[in-house]
Amino acid sequence: MPLVVQKFGGTSVADPEKILAAARKAIRAQQAGNQVVVVVSAMGHNTDLLIELAAQVNPNPQDREMDMLLSTGEQVSVALMAMAVDSLGAKAVSMTGAQMGIQTDSTFTKARIRTISPERINKLLADGNIVIAAGFQGIDQDFNITTLGRGGSDTTAVALAAVLHADACEIHTDVDGVYTTDPRQLPEARHMCRISYDEMLELASLGAGVMHNRSIEFAKKYRVPIHVRSSFSDTRGTLICDASESPSAAVCGAAMAKNEARITVQGVPDRPGTSFGIFKLLADEKITVDMIVQNVGEKDRADISFTVPKDELSRAKRTIEQACQSVGASGFTYDEGVSKISVVGIGMAKQTGVAQQMFRAIADAGINIQMITTSEIKISVLVSLANAQACLRAVHASFSLQQQPLDAAVWEELPARTNTQADLQKLVADLQAADMEKLSLSDISLADDQARITLAGVPDNPGLAADVFDAVAAAGVFVDMIVQSYDGFEGETSISLTIPRKQYQACLQAMNALANKFNFRSVHGSEQISKLSVSGIGLRSHTSVAIGMFEVLAAAGINVEMVNTSELRVNVVVASHHGVQALKCLQGRFGPTRTA
């Protein structure tokens, strides 16, 4: 019999009427001939209320007790949902994470799923029950209750769909699908009928709160197609699957992460191992770091800037104080009034001028860019919080995201699961190996045909990044990595880019011309750099990859010149003469591989 997982988020179970409406949907799915598992979140804003309550008792509550508290929100919902189904004449049994055998590691408040034992659920389904599963929670091996992180019910739903080999995984929420950006921020955002796993994963981890990013890791790994749709109607939503909406569009969506903070560690001794020292301490504290930019300063000292979620700032500050002492940095600054705006699209990997277009749109809106980082399928900029929405709007309009691309896919019914027998065996093997959310790496490679150009002492004015990349594009240069560092005190910044080695001279010439016009302090670079990449799934939340790369390279005395991270890849740039040795170090650390 087909099996459907239906997840209802907080707003979809916010009151008794909504719970009854969700129960009716589940019963309809059962009557249509499916076995049905319903995953529910805490009612309305209950999780937020519980967090506020905890803060009134203790400003720094223990993570274990937070999970004990927060898991009660979902426990209320499952019981009420089972009662609602019963009152409408069907059979239902509610289950907590522990009862479903959702075993996690012990990282309280951000636990990862290790195993799920589907036997009890399968038995209840076979007896004709609708199984009502509590989202967001599990249990560790010492029987402590754990939670998966905010928004984690999506991950419960997709993980259950994977292990139960569900035919459909429906995420019922308060929007009727995935939009080109948050429709609450920009009313002109457009509904998409399809988006690829890679794009959704990247958008989710860059601020598109419609899906929990780790749920997309699961979906991609276990090939679970997801249908995001409205809980309040039966209209078609958005399919998250292998393919993008449009084969030609460079950008499919934009995201804003409003609750970001920037930290700049100043005067870091510029020798191999210091970045590792700093980021290792942050990783040990499970602090999520993004937009890492290193800026080589004067007298062999560097500034390192990065962003953290605002609610992790106070922990990050404590950690950085320690880090400054242990690596001998002179101090740090931070800013809570910043926002990260990103564009995402698989198509940008093959097209030139995407960054230029984004920076020009931001410049035309009169907004200053504080930092830039890119990866193969995303470009992120940091701007002041006050400018965030205007920046998002400018970028969204610049890529005409409000208009459907001419070659956009049309809606297709949820495709049949494409898992082969081999996939299924792998799934079972993963479960037996007892680590569903374990890191999965696919490739380690070395690109040895690259060059780097760095523009130092660039006046920190709106529009300069746009001028630089206009000039780069006019010279016909294909840019790969871009980083712009933060340097708020001197009123200047530095921009580094990697390009194909054969375009080095042309790019250098264009940049020197620009430097004369705008009075940059210097233009320098290296024709001899190598880019090393480690690819996989979920590399932002699996911080061990970036940290491990820093660690082995530092141990070998190899200096990391540039770094960028995405969900799919971590790239580092080193001097070419270190390339092969660096590749060997990474292979030693992460396993066998090939070169590119």
Instruction: State CA 351 to chain mean position distance.
Output: 22
Give residues 407-446 in contact with ligand ASP (rule: CB under 6 A). Answer: none
Least separation in angstroms between residue 385's CB and ligand ADP is 17
Rounded distance, CA 505 to CA 337, Å?
A: 39
Which one, 210 or 313, has the nearer CB to ligand ASP? 210
Number of chain residues interacting with ligand ASP (CB under 6 A): 12
Phi, psi of 216 (to 5 degrees): -75, -30
Exactly one of 75, 96, 153, 398 binds ligand ASP (CB under 6 A); that residue is 153
Cβ-Cβ contacts under 8 Å for 231 (sequence gap 6 or more): 8, 9, 11, 12, 18, 21, 22, 25, 172, 173, 174
CA 8 vs CA 23, 233, 256, 320, 400: distances in Å: 10, 13, 24, 39, 32
With CB under 5 A as the contact rule, which of the stretches 9-17, 307-315, 504-512, 563-571 interacts with Mg ion?
9-17
Rounded distance, CA 105 to CA 114, Å?
A: 7
Place of tokens 């959704």: 200
* Side-by-side strand order, sheet with 102-104: 113-116, 102-104, 137-139, 145-147
State whether the Cα torsion 150-154-158-161 is positive or negative: positive
Which one, 97 or 347, has the nearer CB to ligand ASP? 97
Collapse the DSSP code of 451 into the 3-class scheme (helix H, G, I; strand E, B; otherwise coil) and give the result. strand
Is residue 151 a contact residue for Mg ion (CB under 5 A)? yes
Give residues 13-42 in contact with ligand ADP (rule: CB under 6 A). Answer: 41
Exactly one of 6, 12, 46, 380 binds ligand ADP (CB under 6 A); that residue is 12
Least separation in angstroms between residue 154's CB and ligand ADP is 6
Place of tokens 């990103």: 342
Task: Give the residue ranges of DSSP H helices in 301-353.
Answer: 313-327
Is residue 42 a contact residue for ligand ASP (CB under 6 A)? yes
Which one, 72 or 122, has the nearer CB to ligand ASP? 72
Which one, 98 or 178, has the nearer CB to ligand ADP? 178
Rounded distance, CA 63 to CA 459, Å?
A: 44
- Residue 356 binding: pick among ligand ADP, Mg ion, ligand ASP, none (C-beta 5-8 Å cut-off by kind): none
Which one, 195 or 362, has the nearer CB to Mg ion? 195
* Pair type for strands 492-500 and 482-484: antiparallel
Exactly one of 120, 150, 301, 310 binds ligand ASP (CB under 6 A); that residue is 150
Least separation in angstroms between residue 77's CB and ligand ASP is 9
Inter-residue contact 71 to 104 (CB < 8 Å)? no
Least separation in angstroms between residue 154's CB and Mg ion is 6
Which one, 151 or 525, has the nearer CB to Mg ion? 151
Which one, 24 or 317, has the nearer CB to ligand ADP? 24
Least separation in angstroms between residue 10's CB and Mg ion is 7
Which one, 154 or 470, has the nearer CB to Mg ion? 154
Q: How many other CB atoms are there within 10 angstroms of residue 513's CB atom?
A: 13
Give residues 150-189 in contact with ligand ADP (rule: CB under 6 A). Answer: 151, 173-175, 178-179, 181-184
Give residues 78-137 in contact with ligand ASP (rule: CB under 6 A). Answer: 135-136
With CB under 5 A as the contact rule, which of the stretches 151-159, 196-204, 442-450, 566-574 interacts with Mg ion?
151-159
Rounded distance, CA 86 to CA 93, Å?
A: 9
Rounded distance, CA 116 to CA 101, Å?
A: 5
The pattern of x and - marking residues 528 through 547 that bind ligand ASP according to CB under 6 A reads --------------------
Least separation in angstroms between residue 442's CB and ligand ASP is 28
Is residue 85 a contact residue for ligand ADP (CB under 6 A)? no
Residue 135's nearest CA partner among 113, 166, 114, 120 is 113
Rounded distance, CA 86 to CA 574, Å?
A: 63
Inter-residue contact 370 to 382 (CB < 8 Å)? yes
Q: Which residues bind Mg ion (CB under 5 A)?
A: 9, 151
Q: Name the site residues for ligand ASP (rule: CB under 6 A).
A: 9-10, 41-42, 47, 73, 135-136, 150-153
Q: Which residues bind ligand ADP (CB under 6 A)?
A: 9-12, 41, 151, 173-175, 178-179, 181-184, 208-210, 253
